[in-house]
Amino acid sequence: MKEWPDFFIIGAMKAGSTALHHCLNKHPIIFMSQPKEPGFFSRDNRFAKGPSWYRKHFSGALAGQLWGDSSTCYSRMPVYPNSAYRIHQINPNAKFIYIVRDPVLRAFSHYRHQMDETVISGGLPITYKEFLKVDKEVLETGKYYYQIKPYYDLFGPENIHVCSFDELVNDTPKTIEEVCCFLNIDPSDLSKSSLPSKNKAGSALVYSYTNKYIERIRNTSLLKSFIDYMPQKAKTYGVLALKSSLMKSDLMKTKATKGHEALSKPDLEDIKFLAEYYKDDSIDFQELTGLDICHWKSFRS
């Protein structure tokens, strides 16, 4: 039994890593971490749990399969500064996949994600301008040269594959084929891959609203008396079926959509600020990786 992953999808956050994770998990020779983001090498509290805790994320893997860890926190310095070094200590030959998108657009997606989390935890959302001022992580995460350079230095360019969110969305088969070739596996098993409907904007809100709705139903006096007498297996299957149905319903999707529509949108001032902020880093990133980013707002500026 192997001890450590063969490759890592290290980000960027809100750039398609979840979709890529689920696509690769369909390949017979790949086993992706379950759940998706162990964050073992970044988060000190998880790293302290040790290798045995981490390897449980791959307990379902078969002999001969490649292990893949998808954790976007591995490219979120300076919040998590030790990721690349820790991985190098245990597997200096590891391979890395880094998927990126226009950092100006990524920043707004990051904002919506964080506001979802705020609402779910009972807090109040703030405006986009306020968010850009108080949350430094959103800015640093989009500095792709700054994030990927330590991996180039430690592991070498031959062990790093950079791809773009736009190519993943617009030409999924080609992007998957290139990733498979990088991992030295047969791409034909994923030749007809399409992006799964995972991690859609508002999905966390849909999940939260659904759970709250089910909890209200279970606590109504009439239903509570009935549920108490049901066999445990019937309760479990009943809840799962109801949750699945509700999460696909227009009711929950509409609630999540209204939540997003209430959020502030970036204006021209925000876009100019971000484009200027990312300009130099984007130039350095293109020179380092060779990825065509001429259409990015931060590059065009």
Higher pLDDT, 35 or 284: 284
Question: How do 66-70 and 160-164 pair as beta strands?
Answer: unpaired
CB 75 within 8 A of CB 141: yes
Q: What are the start and end residues of each CATH 3.40.50.300 domain in the chain?
A: 7-103+139-197+276-300
Residue 165 to residue 255: CA distance in whole angstroms: 27
* CATH no. of 7-103+139-197+276-300: 3.40.50.300
Residue 192 to residue 23: CA distance in whole angstroms: 10
pLDDT at 121 over 50: yes
Task: Please report the beta strands in 132-281, taking only residues with DSSP state E, as ranges in sequence order.
Answer: 160-164
0.75 surpassed by pTM: yes
Give how far the C-alpha of residue 94 lies from the chain's centroid of Cα atoms, to the nearest Å.
Answer: 20
Which amino acid is it at 82?
Answer: N
- Mean pLDDT of the region 47-59: 96
pLDDT value for 222: 54
Residue 301 to residue 296: CA distance in whole angstroms: 9
Write out pLDDT tens, residues 236-279. Answer: 666 667 666 765 666 555 655 566 667 889 999 999 999 999 99
